């Protein structure tokens, strides 16, 4: 059985809530809060599947608790070949539609450049935003959550995405 780690950084609690919903869907998964539980990039090696959650800040940047780990990953360039990764995170498509969930795109590019295989692409339909670095060929490279404008869709989206990941990853 694949060992699943759900790593998340959350400032306002939205990404944390999504991570907790995912943990309910992936029985036995380990929740790792990037601020409180993260010990270093070697911790990624403990898992077969990495579900990586971050909200988007500023000019499309990952949440602050991800800054040092992402920098370390980019500098040390560990081999993540064989790891299955999927990305999720919060954004505000109306107020910050110019960078909606762009942090997911930046994280996707880094992890896949290290050899990880990305899963969990979803259609952009149902979202109303200007631009996103997470968009690839008409899909997001992960799950976008907008609790500011579409809170009523969050639980359904997370559960549907979890089922998609289980199918895609053979879990």
Closest CA to 19 of 27, 9, 11: 9
pLDDT (tens, 9 = 90+) of the chain, 171 residues, equals: 899 999 999 999 999 999 999 999 999 999 999 999 999 999 999 999 999 999 999 889 999 999 999 999 999 999 999 999 999 999 999 999 999 999 999 999 999 999 999 999 999 999 999 999 999 999 999 999 999 999 999 999 999 999 999 999 999
Please give the Cα distance from 171 to 151 (Å, whole number): 28
User: Which CATH number fits the domain that encloses residue 70?
Assistant: 3.40.50.360
Domain count, the chain: 1
Would you say 16 and 10 are in contact if contact means Cβ atoms under 8 Å apart?
A: yes
Q: What residues make up the domain containing 154?
A: 4-169
Please report the sign of the dihedral spanned by the C-alpha atoms of residue 47, residue 162, residue 18, residue 89.
positive
Res 1: pLDDT: 81
Supply the angle between the helices 14-25 and 154-169 in degrees, to the nearest 10. 50
Strand order, beta sheet including 139-140:
122-123, 139-140, 135-136
Please give the Cα distance from 148 to 132 (Å, whole number): 17
């Amino acid at each position: 059985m694949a060992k699943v780690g759900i790593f998340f950084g959350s400032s306002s609690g939205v990404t944390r809530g999504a991570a907790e919903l995912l943990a309910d869907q992936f029985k036995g998964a380990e929740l790792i809060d990037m601020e409180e539980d993260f010990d270093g990039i070697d911790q990624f090696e403990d898992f077969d599947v990495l579900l990586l959650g971050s909200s988007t800040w500023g000019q499309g940047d990952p949440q602050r608790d991800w800054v040092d780990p992402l920098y370390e990953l980019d500098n040390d360039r560990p081999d993540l070949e064989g790891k299955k990764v999927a990305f999720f995170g919060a954004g505000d498509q109306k107020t910050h539609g110019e960078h909606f969930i762009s942090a997911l795109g930046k994280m996707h590019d880094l992890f896949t450049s290290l050899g990880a295989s990305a899963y969990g692409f979803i259609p952009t339909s149902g979202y109303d935003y200007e631009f996103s670095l997470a968009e690839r060929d008409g899909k997001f490279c992960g799950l976008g959550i907008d609790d500011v404008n579409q809170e009523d869709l969050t639980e359904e989206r997370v559960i549907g995405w979890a089922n998609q990941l289980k199918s895609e990853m053979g879990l």
